[in-house]
Amino acid sequence: MLLLALDTATPAVTVALHDGTDVIASSSQVDARRHGELLLPAVDRVLAEAGLRLEAVTGIVVGVGPGPYTGLRVGLMTADTFGLALGVPVHGVCTLDGLAYAADIEKGPFVVATDARRKEVYWATYADSRTRLTAPAVDRPADIAGRVAGLPAVGAGALLYPDTFPSAHEPEHVSAAALAALAAEKLAAGEELPAPRPLYLRRPDAQVPKNYKVVTPK
Amino acid sequence: MADEPLVLGIETSCDETGVGVVRGTTLLADAVASSVDEHARFGGVVPEVASRAHLEAMVPTIDRALKEAGVTAGDLDGIAVTAGPGLAGALLVGVSAAKAYAYALGKPLYGVNHLASHICVDQLEHGPLPEPTMALLVSGGHSSLLLSEDITSDVRPMGATIDDAAGEAFDKIARVLNLGFPGGPVIDRYAREGDPGAIAFPRGLTGPRDPAYDFSFSGLKTAVARWIEARRAAGEEVPVRDVAASFQEAVVDVLTRKAVRACKDQGVDHLMIGGGVAANSRLRVLAQERCEAAGIRLRVPRPKLCTDNGAMVAALGAEMVSRNRAASDWDLSADSSLPVTDPHVPGQAHAHAHEAGTENLYS
Ligand SMILES: [Zn+2]
């Protein structure tokens, strides 16, 4: 097994190679505005570091979000196209699950929250690092304060809003290394991973134009 | 490099997911998935809706294009993609796909200019572009007059709209007339049964002191809307066919007049017209008449090649390959305002980057 994992659902552009047992190379850069530029060179670097060619990869793992859409699509489109060109399966993993796995918490419950911008967070609760309790959602921190009260929390979304998440801590961003390890574990256990479709969680912003503006002065 | 390079082109600058395959100047495939129906109820292209649709449509559209062309990905000599101008989020989907595809296949990548592609597509219809070529590009996103000496390296802006694109004016007038979106085809249809001389709508920027090659459609749009509102306010019926015909005549009169003038002034004896509005039947007829009268050869691709598509991107990519232009780097970005003077985005250290990439893939 050789998995190439990538995630662009958060400000991090993160890539890792996993041979089924260990992460053999990885790269993480935090730059929310340059996902498009950074991802391919990072893949190239990680492969070079491992002394492997892309052809050797047996599967692609990609974070499906939730995340801000423009960046999120960079990873998904790249993964989809790699899958097409290489003829290998592409597995989707919820980005919040990757963060939960990286948090390495054996006994929860705890919260994972990432920054959804517009003063909102993407979040879910977990029983432990491998077990999600609630579906990923997007909310204003104040609106979920009651539901997350007293729970430890990880992720940039938690660190950003200490009023709602007073005991927030690292990891801040998801790592493809964690995503790959989680996927490798699930695949080894015979679990099927979901298709790599984006978790947007919001409808597109689309203002229906009002009836055309009357231009004749009254 | 091959004389007749086999190139796959990807276009996602607006609402069409286009993937085309060409061999030199021969069209092999032109697969397009459009999200236009999803935008219709909004009366215009919604960027986020378009970007979401590109992501879903990309892989099936690439598959379809390769099947249609009867080639396999391994045979390709290069991958071309629209790097700009266009909607930033939409462009980024295509650029991400093209980079991943080129990298995985070990092929060079060419980020190319959307407007230069609109010109270059005519090679698939009428053979190699004459040099120089004057081009009138008109669509919902652009209205420009461009002079190209070499489509891979030298495209000069002669004029452009100072406000709305011609296609936008069609959309807006169609909305005022309650004819739906997009406005171009429906106005064209109604206009065929109307009198183009019924109402004298203004011709923007055609005064003696106005810039000779720039366009303005905002004043025309306002004048047409005002005229319609006056009829409605008076309780009279609006003669939709005559309004459509007279409005359309005002647009195509200015477009063709300025294009022919630019050809004459610059001593260029070829005019190509591209972009979605080039599908307009009256524009095609009037341009033909005026070019003939002026001794200019008119080249207009078939309507399907005038609207946004991947074949036009592949056509320009193939030209980049045959003229040995530098490939783009793996950090190629989508540039929503890529200047028309940049027909493509060459890499900084392209030879090295690609050798390294290929080595890494196949060593
Ligand atoms: Zn266009």
Q: What does the pLDDT average to over B112-140? A: 96
Judged by a CB distance cut-off of 8 A, whether residue B354 touches chain A is no
The helix (run of H) or strand (run of E) holding residue A93 is strand A90-93
Measured CA to CA, the distance from residue B240 to residue B78 in angstroms comes to 49
Q: Is the pLDDT of residue A206 over 90?
A: no
Judged by CB atoms closer than 8 Å, whether chains meet at A70 and B89 is answered as yes
Q: Is the pLDDT of residue B63 over 70?
A: yes
Q: What is the pLDDT of residues A103-118, one digit of tens each?
A: 999 998 999 999 999 9
- SS3 per-residue string spanning B201-225: CCCCCCCCCCCCCCECCHHHHHHHH
What's the sign of the alpha-carbon dihedral A109, A114, A116, A121?
A: positive
A73 vs B contacts (CB less than 8 Å): 51, 55, 89, 92-93, 96
Mean pLDDT of chain B: 93
Q: What does the pLDDT average to over B211-221? A: 95
Strand partners, B82: B112
Q: Are B177 and B238 in contact (CB under 8 A)?
A: yes
- Strand extents, DSSP E, chain B: 6-11, 16-23, 26-34, 78-84, 109-113, 133-138, 143-150, 154-160, 270-274, 297-299
Judged by CB atoms closer than 8 Å, whether chains meet at A40 and B356 is answered as no
In Å, how far is A33's CA from the nearest CA of chain B?
Answer: 11
Judged by a CB distance cut-off of 8 A, whether residue B328 touches chain A is no
Cα(B114) to ligand 1 centroid in Å equals: 6
Judged by CB atoms closer than 8 Å, whether chains meet at B99 and A40 is answered as yes
Binning pLDDT at 50, 70 and 90, where does residue B359 land? Answer: very low
Range 49-68 of B in CB contact (< 8 A) with A = 49, 51-52, 55, 58-59, 62-63
Cα(B290) to ligand 1 centroid in Å equals: 24
Q: Which domains does chain B have, with CATH numbers?
A: 6-121+309-355 (3.30.420.40), 131-301 (3.30.420.40)
CB atoms within 10 A of CB A104: 11
B59 vs A contacts (CB less than 8 Å): 80-81, 83-84
Q: Is the pLDDT of residue B363 over 60?
A: no
Closest among A41, A68, A73 to B99, alpha carbons compared: A41
pTM beyond 0.80: the answer is yes
Binning pLDDT at 50, 70 and 90, where does residue B358 land? Answer: very low
Judged by a CB distance cut-off of 8 A, whether residue B238 touches chain A is no
Contact residues of A toward B, CB < 8 A = 34, 36-41, 43-44, 47-48, 53-55, 69-70, 73-74, 76-86, 198, 200, 204-209, 212, 214-216
| Chain A to chain B Cβ contacts (< 8 Å) | 127
Measured CA to CA, the distance from residue B300 to residue B206 in angstroms comes to 24
Strand partners, B155: B148
Q: Is the pLDDT of residue B334 over 70?
A: yes
Measured CA to CA, the distance from residue B333 to residue B345 in angstroms comes to 9
Judged by CB atoms closer than 8 Å, whether chains meet at A214 and B229 is answered as yes
Judged by a CB distance cut-off of 8 A, whether residue B229 touches chain A is yes
pLDDT at A208: 52
Judged by a CB distance cut-off of 8 A, whether residue B17 touches chain A is no
Q: Is the pLDDT of residue B131 over 70?
A: yes
Q: What interface predicted TM-score (ipTM) does this complex get?
A: 0.94
Per DSSP, helices labelled H in B85-159 are 88-105, 114-120, 123-126
Q: Is the pLDDT of residue A102 over 80?
A: yes
Cα(A25) to ligand 1 centroid in Å equals: 41
Q: Is the pLDDT of residue A139 over 90?
A: yes
Q: What is the pLDDT of residues B90-102, one digit of tens each?
A: 999 999 999 999 9
Judged by a CB distance cut-off of 8 A, whether residue B350 touches chain A is no
Measured CA to CA, the distance from residue A69 to residue A8 in angstroms comes to 10
Judged by a CB distance cut-off of 8 A, whether residue B230 touches chain A is yes
